[in-house]
Amino acid sequence: MARITLVGVAKAFNDKQILDRLDLDIENGELIALLGPSGSGKTTLLKLIAGLDTPSAGRIEFDGSDVTLVSTRHRQAIIVFQDHCLFPHLTVKENIAFGLRARNEPRATIDRKVGEILEVVQLPGRQNSLPHALSGGEKQRIALARACVLKPRALLLDEPFSNLDVNLRLSMREFVVSLQRVLKLTCVLVTHDKEEAFVMAERVAVLLDGRLEQVDTPENLYDRPKNKKVAEFLGEANFFPGVMADGVFSCALGSFTTPWQDTRQAVGMVRYDNVQLRRHTGNALGKIKDKVFAGRYTFYKVALAAGGELMASCKESFAIGDTVYVSCADHAMQVYRE
Amino acid sequence: MKWGRAVVHLVMWTAAVACVSPLLSLIVLAFSAQWPFPHLLPSLFTADHLAELLLSPRLVEAVTTSLALALLTTVATLLLVFPAAKAAGLYSFRGREALKLLALMPVMMPAATVTMGLHYFMIRVGLAGTMLGVVIVHTVFAVPYAFRILMYVFEIMGEQQEEQAAMLGAGPLMVFSAVTLPLVMPGMVAAATMSFIISFSQYITTFIIGGGRLLTVPLLLVPHVQGGELHVASVYSLVFIFTALAALVLLRAVVRHYYRETYFLNP
């Protein structure tokens, strides 16, 4: 359990910048998600925190003391990988005991701690199984137990659930969150899955092309993406080019108040689920061009009479070819100055 | 599906018969006293050649020397190859491809060429005709095979397991003994088997470097084959095969034993 601070951390491989001067403060006992597409540098950052690699610039601090050059072995930051990485030749008990053995703890203590953590991960009685005899979810829980039994200063999860099937993934998410709270671990979850990040983390750090674009609570991130890049990455967003003048942004969807007073070109963003479709009143006239039923919502593609298209998701039912009025609340329109 | 299985079985059994049938004819030959021309089997069997040859001091000496050479060669090869194969299999560095190619060189050239060159050198440093000299030349020919085998094993293993061990707090010694070594052990056994067999079956290299002072089983065997003394040759061949086989079975048993009894974490 430690507060982790990244100060100007950068990493380059053969002149290619993978991570570009990141600053990030992770609170003691916090679960933060690092969200980004594959190739954005998430795993590289995790390896830097664990000490499997050294940054090209900047420093990493645990509880205020610089650990940038502390070896992996003494750093007490443990990655749980996607493919669990259990030692295949050791039993469950031996796997979990591995780190305790490395610390030369007495046998009685090891036995007690292994027993306790197996209770916590709800797998007592699997002590003498070999990893290949376990199911995917069980392997992942043993891998978590092996890390957690050491009470690491940082628990680093590298896409830990992406090899599991959907239902198992959901229950593992809950399980990890409760485990992290019970053991009060500082935890960094790397994922490319927005929903996973939102459901599990207290804060989400969006990493795009090696830069931290936004670090925020899931609510803020969803409602107010800081820039167009983040909004595009989070998806289900409509963009409208328009003009900003005297605190008003005007685009195909109408006029919206903004906090800015300058006059310039701008882009407005509205999420699919913030677009309202009505039959009789609204800001802009449009016609339903296409629809896709997706369970909770139906997605509609609407062609605006004034030109352009947008996507909306709602529960109301319209038919293809229906005429609708499109509108959107002031607070739902995010305006980005280009 | 059915056809696929039938083909697999056919290939398997053909291979098994092809491997075992020469051995049968060797056994028959070793025990035959009279085997006149058109007969399928000898008309008279005897264990005399076997008894006589097995007790001869030359054979005992040859088997002992062969075993000692093979054992030393195996140890030397593994010690040399382990770090090299790990580096080539796991890490990327400048000259990695060159190293892989270089490691194959001894078997890409005719054995006699390499041995002649080495012989000249060994005469100068006084290693010609010594055990050490022969071990060195055998090692030269065992290294390429052992290197290849272990390199692939390291490639398959990858770095992640060692990294995981380090993150859990293990020092270099524990990482090596508790993770790396057990994980590559199947490859080590394969590489050791290969090295042992290569050393055990060397003829020309032992002949040149040993200068006749070191008597091994192949040195004893080959003149009899060339001289047409098939009874003697087949007895020696049987001794050759079964000694090698026994040594390999023993090797595997030792590895198994080591891993069951002193397995580092087993309570």
Q: ipTM of the predicted structure?
A: 0.84
Give tens-digit pLDDT for B2-11: 788 999 999 9
Structure-block tokens of residue A168 = 């198992």
Query: What DSSP designation does A62 have?
Result: E
Residues 6 or more apart in contact with residue B101 via CB below 8 angstroms: none
Nearest residue in chain A measured CA to CA from B160:
A85
Answer whether residue B263 shows pLDDT above 50.
Answer: no
CB atoms B266 and A87 under 8 Å: no
Q: B97 and B120 in one domain?
A: yes
**Do B147 and B223 fall into the same domain?**
yes
**Sequence ranges of the domains in chain A:** 4-228, 241-337
In a domain, B266, yes or no: no
Residue B35 lies inside a defined structural domain of this protein? yes
Asked if residue B172 lies in contact with residue B82, where contact means CB atoms within 8 angstroms, the answer is no
The percent of residues in chain B predicted with pLDDT above 70, rounded, is 96
Q: What integer pLDDT is reported at residue B259 of this predicted model?
A: 65
A4-228 belongs to CATH 3.40.50.300: yes
B22 is in which domain, residue-wise? 1-46
Say which range, A16-25, A210-219, B142-151, B234-243, has the weakest mean pLDDT: B234-243
Residues A338 and B188: their CA atoms lie apart, in Å, by 62
| pLDDT in the model for residue A44 | 92
Q: Is B188 in the same domain as B221?
A: yes
Same domain, B31 and B108: no
CATH of the domain at B132: 1.10.3720.10
Contact A231, A237 (CB under 8 A): yes
Indicate whether B31 and B123 sit together in one domain.
Answer: no
Q: Are residues B248 and B123 in the same domain?
A: yes
Pair (B87, B154) in one structural domain: yes
With an 8 Å Cβ cutoff, are B170 and A98 in contact?
A: yes
Interchain proximity A87–B163, CB inside 8 Å: no
Residue pLDDT tens, chain A, 338 long: 789 999 999 999 888 889 999 999 999 999 999 999 988 889 999 999 999 999 999 999 999 999 999 999 999 999 999 888 999 889 999 999 999 999 999 999 999 999 999 998 888 888 888 888 898 889 999 999 999 999 999 999 999 888 888 888 888 899 899 989 988 999 999 999 999 999 999 999 999 999 999 999 999 999 899 999 999 999 889 999 989 888 888 888 888 888 878 888 889 999 998 998 988 888 888 999 999 998 888 999 999 888 888 999 988 888 898 999 998 888 888 888 87
Q: Which residues contact B102 (CB under 8 A, 6 or more apart)?
A: none
B220 is a domain residue: yes
> If you average pLDDT over residues B181-198, what whole number do you get?
90
Instruction: Choose the mutation target among A13, A54, A90, A157 for the interface with B, i.e. most B CBs under 10 Å.
Output: A90
Cα B234 to Cα B31: distance, rounded to the nearest angstrom = 9
Q: What is the pLDDT of residue A247?
A: 84
Determine the pLDDT at residue B253.
Answer: 82
Residues B137 and B240 occupy one common structural domain: yes
Q: Which residue has the higher pLDDT, A186 or B237?
A: A186
- For chain B, how many residues are written? 267
Q: What phi and psi, each to the nearest 5 degrees, are found at residue B169? A: 100, 10
Question: Is residue B266 predicted with pLDDT exceeding 60?
Answer: no
Structure tokens at A35: 């969200």
CB < 8 Å to B168, chain A? 78, 98-99, 102, 146-147, 150
Looking at domain A241-337, its CATH class is mainly beta
The answer to whether residues B112 and B234 belong to one domain is yes
Give domain status of residue B267, yes or no: no
Which of B30, B46, B62 represents a domain boundary (last residue)? B46
Compare CB distances from A73 to B161, B166, B179 and report the shortest one's residue. Answer: B166
Contact A87 B179 (CB under 8 A): yes
B265/A101 Cβ within 8 A:
yes
* pLDDT score recorded for residue B12: 93
- Position B267 confidence tier, pLDDT thresholds 50, 70, 90: very low
Task: Tell me if B194 is assigned to some domain.
Answer: yes
- Would you state the pLDDT for residue A230? 94
Res. B69 pLDDT band, cuts 50 70 90? very high
Running DSSP on this structure, what letter comes out for residue A203?
E
> Does residue B37 sit in the same domain as residue B62?
no
Out of B169, B170, B265, the one facing A94 most closely (by C-beta) is B265
Q: Report pLDDT for B47.
A: 82
The pLDDT of residue B260 is: 52
Clarify whether residues B151 and B22 are in a common domain. Answer: no
pLDDT category at B229 given cuts 50, 70, 90 is confident
Residue B131 lies in a domain: yes
| B247 vs B36 pLDDT, higher one | B247
Count of domains for chain B = 2
The one-character DSSP state at A278 is E
pLDDT in tens, B74-111: 999 999 999 999 999 998 888 888 988 888 888 888 88
